[in-house]
Structure formats: structure tokens, C-alpha cells
Homo-oligomer: A and B are copies of this chain.
């Protein structure tokens, strides 16, 4: 008759949520500090556990890149602890009065920021997410229910034990952070159906996980989606600035979602700009449409699929457009709604681009790489939302909260 482990673990997180929600900022910061201490104190045990995960991954023939993401060292553990301390230093969103007003009948209405309750996170082989996500959930007054990958389970158990021990030292329930240690594949599906337990699900993974969430989830979720990000070089662009921005957006860290994937160039500057940027981006594989290849005959043609692809690599699609309308139409067709930039010196072009391009972030004369919680000043991020509901763009502490109406009266009744 027994409930499954996952239900028990979900119930544990749920049982902790009231205490976490009520905890003072000082208490939550203490918990983060103690948790950071515990990570340091248990570094050897965490590294031991991690070596087990890494050995298993290598024996299973997992790719070097995945092994690298999985592998911890003293420096990475110290970074996790520092991350917790920097979250402690952020402003507490809980209790913020979002707005408020008085009704003609004297009712005093305010909307107050409150925790969501239990935040569920499904993630892949990065053990640091265990600590990073737990810290953000805790500071925002939420219990965290974490479902990491089977490949990192040893590391995750050791990290979660350290966090829970630190949290208890601040007189908060250890179950403020609950790690799902049943990592059979089917528990992901069970996890996303814990309606009544999980108040927000943040799936952090690839297309397969997103598809599973869309099909199976009954809990509310936010999609941290792809970034097929464009930079459009307008006729009036400062071409030197455009070059600098494109190099940064494409090559500074090509494997992340806010990296640039596609370049659009206004016809009027295509002759001047395309050969120049192609030279500068030596080492980046370019594919282009016919009008690009008239200027750069050495590159391969870009297919429709290329324009729709988030390469996450040193590869970029390039197109020439007639004008701003052409750029906006191309972006409307291919964009994943993440981050879209224009380089221009024309006020009307900048204004129209920002108004008409439908994305989490639109940028003028700067790099798409800035669309990041840290870079925008949110302090930290639990993901970047490409959906429009609740949170759009980088999600920080505030995006891990809800609001509550508080209505004070003196006996008013409705007429």
C-alpha cells in the first residue's frame, strides 16, 4: 500500500514550506551561510562521491564534455559556497508590497510578494545546480524539490546532505531542500505530475525534457527554452560597433542560449560589411542566403533549417534583408523569442525594432550576451524564461515568488 518514494519526498518538501515561507531574512541568510560552511567542511566527502559519479560516467563511455560538467574539484565546491553567500547578500523579495490603494468604500488593498511554496527543479548532469537552485529557492522563501540526473546522483546526495545540515543549524527544517534520490527515468514523469505539491516546475534540460513536460506536466511550469538569437545590422549602423558586438555575441561563449546564432544585414551595407565580418569571424563557419553568397561566394548556402537552428557552436547563419521590415519579418519567422539585437544609429529604426520584435529581450547597440540575470543586475538566475507567462527573460529571486491580495476593512459588506 505504501506511497512511492517520490510522493513521500514531495510531502516532505511540502511540510517544510510554511516554515521557509515565514522565516525572516536574517534566518534565511544564516541558513545560506551555514550551508556554505557545510559545503566547505564536507568538501572531501563531496569529492569522493563525485569521483564515483565520474568513474561511472567514464566507464559508461559518456562524452568528455559531459564528464567535464559533472566533475567537481575544490575550486568548484568553493564556487558553490560563494554562490550561496552571494544569494544571501541579495535583497529578500518576500514581503515586498508590489502596489496598494484604497477603494471608495474605505477598503485598503495591497498586493504583497509571497513565496510560491514548493519549487521543483529537474536538471541534468551539473551537480552545482543542486546548490545554486537550493539557495535561490531558500532565499525566496520556497522549499526546493530537486530531481537531478542519475549520472550525478552520488554528488547530489553529498551536496544536498551538506545543505540540509546547514539549514538545520539555522533552525529551519532540513526538508526545506529535498533531493529525489530515486532517479529511475519514470520518476521524471511522476515528478512533473505532483500537482498539489509542486507550485512551480523549472525544467532545465534539452528538447526531450521540454517535450515531456509539455505532454505530461500537470504542475505549473516555466520553460527555459532555446535562444536562436539574431543581430541585425541596420543601414545606419556604426560598422565598427556592429563588428565588435557580433564578435562578442557569437564567440565569447558560443555554447549558451544568449549567444548569437544568426546575422542579418541591411542590403545597403552588405557590400561593405559582409566581407569585413567574415574576415573578423575567421574560425566561425558561416552559411548564407543567395544575397550573402554573392558577396561571400566561398561560404555554403544556408537552408531554412539553418536559419531555424540554435547552433550553440562556432557556426552562424547569415542573411541580407531589404530593410528593417525585412529584418523584423525574418526574426518573427525564425526567432525563439529569447534575445534579439539591432545595431543602428537611427532612432526610428531602434524604436520600431524594440516595439515590433517579440522576444524576452530586445537590445539596441549591445551584445545579446548581456541577457543574463547576473549581467542585468538580478543577482543570480534560476533560468531564462522564453515563455510569456509569469516570468520572461532572466528569472531571479522575484520570479520565484507570487503575490497575495491583503484587504483590510472595518466591517464593509458588498452592496
Q: Which residues of A contact B (CB under 8 A)?
A: 18, 21-22, 101, 103, 107, 109, 114, 116-117, 195, 199-200, 214-215, 218, 220, 222, 238, 241, 244-245, 247-249, 252, 332, 350, 354-356, 358-367, 369-371, 375-377, 387-390, 392-393, 402-414
Pick the residue among B18, B107, B200, B376 that contacts A109 (CB under 8 A): B376
User: Chain A binding site: helix, strand, loop or mixed by DSSP?
Assistant: mixed
Q: How far is the CA of A245 from the CA of B369 in the complex (A)?
A: 55
How far in angstroms is the closest Cβ of chain B from A133? 17
A214 to B218, Cβ gap below 8 A? yes
B407 to A370, Cβ gap below 8 A? yes
A405 to B220, Cβ gap below 8 A? no
A22 to B101, Cβ gap below 8 A? no
Neighbouring B residues of A407 by C-beta, 8 Å: 361-364, 366, 370-371, 376
Neighbouring B residues of A238 by C-beta, 8 Å: 411
B366 to A405, Cβ gap below 8 A? no
Neighbouring B residues of A361 by C-beta, 8 Å: 404-407
A360-B408 contact given A107-B366, A200-B389, A389-B389, CB 8 Å threshold = no
A214 to B195, Cβ gap below 8 A? yes
User: How many identical subunits does the complex contain?
Assistant: 2
Neighbouring B residues of A248 by C-beta, 8 Å: 413-414
Neighbouring B residues of A365 by C-beta, 8 Å: 408-412
Q: Which of A22, A222, A364 has the most CB of B within 10 A?
A: A364
9 shortest interchain CB distances as A-B pairs:
A366-B409, A248-B413, A388-B402, A361-B405, A390-B390, A369-B414, A241-B411, A220-B389, A389-B390
Neighbouring B residues of A215 by C-beta, 8 Å: 218
The residue of chain B having its C-beta at the shortest distance from the C-beta of A214 within the complex is B218
Pick the residue among B364, B366, B402, B413 that contacts A367 (CB under 8 A): B413
The residue of chain B having its C-beta at the shortest distance from the C-beta of A408 within the complex is B364
Neighbouring B residues of A363 by C-beta, 8 Å: 407-409
Neighbouring B residues of A107 by C-beta, 8 Å: 366, 370
Q: How far is the CA of A231 from the CA of B404 in the complex (A)?
A: 17
How far in angstroms is the closest Cβ of chain B from A261? 16
Pick the residue among B247, B369, B387, B413 that contacts A366 (CB under 8 A): B413
How far in angstroms is the closest Cβ of chain B from A338? 11
Neighbouring B residues of A18 by C-beta, 8 Å: 332, 356, 358
